[in-house]
Structure 1
Amino acid sequence: MENSQTIEKTMMLLETLALYGPSRASAITKILAIHRSSAYRMLGSLVQLGYVLHHEESGLYSLSRKMESFTDSGSAWGWLKSLADPYLQGIYEKVNETMHLAVLHNNEISYLSKWESSRSLRVVVQSQAGGHAPLYCTGLGKMLLAGQEKDELERIVQDIELIPFTETTIRTADSLHAELNRIRTDLISFDNEEHEEGVSCIAVPLLNKEGDIIAAISITVPTLRFTEDRKKELRSLMRDAGRSISAMIDEYHI
């Protein structure tokens, strides 16, 4: 009986991480109504088995790529999509440009939501929900990379082949790190035709209450419409939306 109860609690813990995303042990303890010592014991075992990652700097636990291979990243983040979509829709209806919500998954952008512009001149991005894109040459990707801890970032960057899609694509690890440092300071990322010629993008982070980047939203615009005035307008809209969604994440989540 004791073994079956332990298995049940362990599965509930994994389901909690899949539903809520990166979480602290204290939050898991509260959600599952279990003793703190039990939560740490189960988390420790799952970390040793490679199913859960412990991010020491932030204190967060998250599903590992080993565990995520058994799950649909989109469904695991359904709660975030429900929070962010109304804000994406609001901006979309105001400016009629393409909007995205995404998280980091298996070293790639994993799109959770998309609102595509209906303009005759619009950006057509292969970014259906559940789809993927490279990290180093998109506004969303660079923002998500900027949120990674040092060791994890180094591991990801080492695994990335910096393919020069356009003349403005980042080509070296040093240049990428310099760009990520700027993004961490400014909390805004740009894609200046780095993945596709004629396509520009602004991305902002979605933060938990500790200030960790757990996701990002973006707006993608044909470069011909990306004037300085338009850029200023969209930057303001995106930053306001990012702050609003992050405040809701704080209330809803960690």
Structure 2
Amino acid sequence: MENEKNRKSNINVRAVRRVMEILTAFDFNQPELGLTELSKKVKLPKSTLYRYLETLKEGGFISQDPETGKYRLGIKIFELGSIVQNTLDLRKIAHPYLKKLAEETGETVHLCILDEERGVGVYVDKIENPSARVRYSQLGKTIPLHVGGVGKALMAYLPREKVDEIIRKYGLPKFTKNTITDPEELKKHLQKVKEQGYSVDNEEVELGLRCVAAPIRDSTGKVIASISISGPSARINEKTIPQLAELVKETALKISYELGFKS
């Protein structure tokens, strides 16, 4: 009896694996496959594969073009993907990475999300080092996109027309003597941010404070958030910025990968 149970269990496991192989045979390069093509990819006889496909069609996991007869992923896959996408909690995913970054650098680390409509970033997480307290940033507080590392790391990846709209609508208010308030200078600066993959806040929000930030992307490649390392200008300077930039870029990329981004 026990052997029979094990045999049936093994058959069920093989069947599940075959279903996974069938579903993952489709990709961006081959979103549609004919029966013969699919049979070769999953190494199943066409008669066996056909039975699997018919069952998957009934469940909405596979659909078939009535004209070409080719198969593609069904609407049920999209529904399941949407559930996963909607339940991905950026803050929950990012927090362990922020904590590690704070421990490695000994500086304060921020997570900021993009609010494109208001032309601001919103602080949603912060791990503060007692020796690197940052007064301006508080959870829920906003920051204009033209200032600070997190703001510029977000603004640099917006369409040019959106940047123009934000400047026209909200202006470029000055926080310190280092704040960039000239539109053309800002645009050149944002281009540099894109080229190097990170931004630097050179005491633009608060004198005596610098930060290095990098963008976070979602599964579509869109920049939706940014993270930064912030600390006293005495510690974050020309000598330390290159190393900090690599750390923050690497961390931002790891978070992006967890959100489904593929470079």
Indicate the TM-score class for this superposition, using the shorter chain for normalisation.
Answer: 0.5 to 0.7
2:160 matched residue in structure 1: 150
- CA contact under 8 A between 2:122 and 2:142: conserved in structure 1? yes
- CA contact under 8 A between 1:147 and 1:214: conserved in structure 2? no
Alignment partner of 1:178 is 2:188:
yes
Choose the corresponding residue for 2:104, options 86, 94, 102.
94
Runs of 5+ unmatched residues, structure 2: 1-73
Alignment partner of 1:109 is 2:157:
no
1:30 matched residue in structure 2: 78
Q: Which has the larger radius of gyration?
A: 2
CA distance, structure 2, for counterparts of residue 140 and residue 112 of structure 1: 12
Q: Secondary structure at the match of 1:174?
A: helix
- CA contact under 8 A between 1:101 and 1:215: conserved in structure 2? yes
1:85 matched residue in structure 2: 95
Q: CA deviation at 1:30?
A: 1.2
- Summarize the Cα distance change of 1:33–1:182 in structure 2 as closer, same or farther, 3 Å threshold: closer
Choose the corresponding residue for 1:127, options 137, 140, 155.
137
Q: Secondary structure at the match of 2:138?
A: coil
- Summarize the Cα distance change of 1:27–1:172 in structure 2 as closer, same or farther, 3 Å threshold: farther
Q: CA deviation at 1:217?
A: 0.5
Q: What is the TM-score when the length of structure 2 is the normalising length?
A: 0.63
Alignment partner of 1:233 is 2:233:
no
CA distance, structure 1, for counterparts of residue 138 and residue 128 of structure 2: 10
- Percent identity reads 31
Alignment partner of 1:222 is 2:222:
no
Q: What is the TM-score when the length of structure 1 is the normalising length?
A: 0.65
- Summarize the Cα distance change of 1:228–1:126 in structure 2 as closer, same or farther, 3 Å threshold: closer
- Summarize the Cα distance change of 1:180–1:223 in structure 2 as closer, same or farther, 3 Å threshold: same
CA distance, structure 1, for counterparts of residue 190 and residue 106 of structure 2: 29
2:68 matched residue in structure 1: none
1:249 matched residue in structure 2: 259
Q: Secondary structure at the match of 2:130?
A: coil
- How many residues align? The count is 184
Runs of 5+ unmatched residues, structure 1: 1-25, 35-75
CA distance, structure 2, for counterparts of residue 202 and residue 77 of structure 1: 29
1:137 matched residue in structure 2: 147
- CA contact under 8 A between 1:200 and 1:221: conserved in structure 2? yes
Alignment partner of 1:213 is 2:223:
yes
CA distance, structure 1, for counterparts of residue 195 and residue 260 of structure 2: 21
Residue deviations 1:27-65 (CA, integer Å, cap 9, x gap):
99813799xxxxxxxxxxxxxxxxxxxxxxxxxxxxxxx
- CA contact under 8 A between 2:88 and 2:259: conserved in structure 1? no
Q: Secondary structure at the match of 2:181?
A: coil
- CA contact under 8 A between 1:77 and 1:112: conserved in structure 2? no
1:189 matched residue in structure 2: 199
CA distance, structure 2, for counterparts of residue 134 and residue 123 of structure 1: 20
Q: C-alpha root-mean-square deviation of aligned residues, in Å?
A: 2.7
Q: CA deviation at 1:219?
A: 0.8
Q: CA deviation at 1:156?
A: 1.1
CA distance, structure 1, for counterparts of residue 126 and residue 87 of structure 2: 14
Q: Secondary structure at the match of 2:124?
A: strand
CA distance, structure 2, for counterparts of residue 213 and residue 27 of structure 1: 27
Q: Which residue identity lines up with residue 216 of structure 1 in the other structure?
A: S
Q: CA deviation at 1:148?
A: 1.3
Q: Secondary structure at the match of 2:259?
A: helix
- CA contact under 8 A between 2:134 and 2:231: conserved in structure 1? no
CA distance, structure 1, for counterparts of residue 126 and residue 202 of structure 2: 20
Q: Which residue identity lines up with residue 237 of structure 2 in the other structure?
A: T
